């Protein structure tokens, strides 16, 4: 594979050396060579989302995930609770048949759920899966960039969610992100700062069963940056019930503490839209979801 190196000068400076390593990692992530111009609501094409993973339980699709480097996959903690025969498939478009030349299946050696994951509230619903062997990057298998801790996804930021809600990789769905408004809609105490909400408040666009653990991404320049991990929601695509995601940027320190070598590429995302959500006032009494 062709590698591009950047010369910084005197490598005796350890800080510069570490900067070089981190910058090189971010160069690799978030590029989807096969991704055409996005049209909301259409099924994906092969290679459009090369970091998308199918997490299989006893050989059948169970949840989604995202490849974040050659050895690790990011998914939801609720997907991997309890022992099982886990495997991941990459470079896959359809769950049944097709694109076998691009598909790779790998076992899982290690699962690390966030130590403060709460199955009752879905707080900290995030997990890291170490692959049994490193994967080779191709046009159909590549890592996604992760949102750095100082990222901001303001209300109105276009986001895409991918996954196999049915049998084919879909999810070219444009969503808007929310926090304060989402907290008002779901009721007091349901939405924490570790979460981010996204959806169309009029309904009709959302992640659904089978998409759990998969990535929500936004594009900045030529790079795709993952902002969320599909976690939970009330129904699917209901009005005033946006989907809820683990907020990736919150977990930069934890992810780096688990992955000792070959750190994932963290990139700061800066919203190009103002944030009307920051001034939102909840004018109704909080209520609990049904």
Residues with catalytic function: 78, 125, 212
CA distance 250 to 238: 27
CB of 102 within 8 A of CB of 250?
A: no
Distance CA 51, CA 163 (A): 11
User: Could you tell me the CA-to-CA distances from 104 to 88, 100, 133, 136, 138 in Å, in that order?
Assistant: 8, 8, 11, 9, 11
What is the rounded radius of gyration, in angstroms, for the C-alpha atoms of the chain? 18
Q: To 10 degrees, the CA torsion angle through 209, 129, 152, 217?
A: -50
Q: What is the rounded CA–CA span in Å between residue 289 and residue 187?
A: 7
Q: If phi over 0 gives left and psi between -120 and 50 gives alpha, with beta otherwise, what is residue 51?
A: alpha
**Residues 182, 110 contacting (CB under 8 angstroms):** no
Residue 154, token pair as written in the block: 């303001």
Task: Show the tokens assigned to 31.
Answer: 């590029």
Cβ within 8 Å of residue 58, ≥6 positions away: 84, 85
């Amino acid at each position: 594979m062709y590698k591009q190196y950047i010369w910084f000068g005197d490598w005796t400076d350890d800080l510069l050396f570490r900067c070089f390593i981190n910058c090189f990692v971010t160069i690799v992530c978030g590029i989807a060579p096969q991704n055409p111009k996005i049209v909301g609501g259409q099924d994906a094409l092969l290679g459009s989302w090369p970091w998308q993973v199918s997490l299989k339980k006893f050989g059948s699709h169970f949840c989604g995930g995202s490849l974040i480097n050659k050895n690790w996959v990011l998914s939801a903690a609720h997907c991997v609770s309890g022992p099982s025969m886990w495997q991941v498939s990459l470079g896959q478009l359809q769950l049944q048949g097709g694109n076998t030349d691009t598909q790779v299946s790998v076992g899982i050696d290690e699962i690390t759920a966030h130590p403060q994951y709460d199955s009752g509230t879905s707080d900290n619903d995030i997990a890291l899966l170490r692959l049994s062997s490193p994967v080779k990057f191709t046009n159909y298998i590549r890592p996604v960039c992760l949102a750095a801790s100082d990222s901001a996804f303001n209300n109105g930021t276009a986001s895409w969610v991918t996954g196999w809600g049915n049998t084919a990789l879909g999810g070219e769905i444009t969503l808007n992100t929310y926090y304060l408004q989402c907290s008002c809609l779901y009721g007091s105490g349901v939405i924490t700062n570790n979460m981010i909400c996204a959806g169309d408040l009029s309904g009709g666009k959302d992640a659904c069963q089978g998409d759990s653990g998969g990535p929500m991404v936004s594009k900045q320049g030529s790079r795709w940056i993952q902002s969320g991990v599909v976690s939970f929601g009330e129904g699917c695509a209901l009005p005033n019930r946006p989907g809820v995601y683990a907020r990736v940027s919150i977990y930069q320190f934890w992810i780096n503490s688990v992955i000792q070598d070959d750190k994932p590429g963290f990139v700061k995302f800066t919203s190009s839209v103002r944030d009307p959500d920051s001034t939102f006032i909840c004018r109704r009494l909080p209520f609990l979801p049904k």
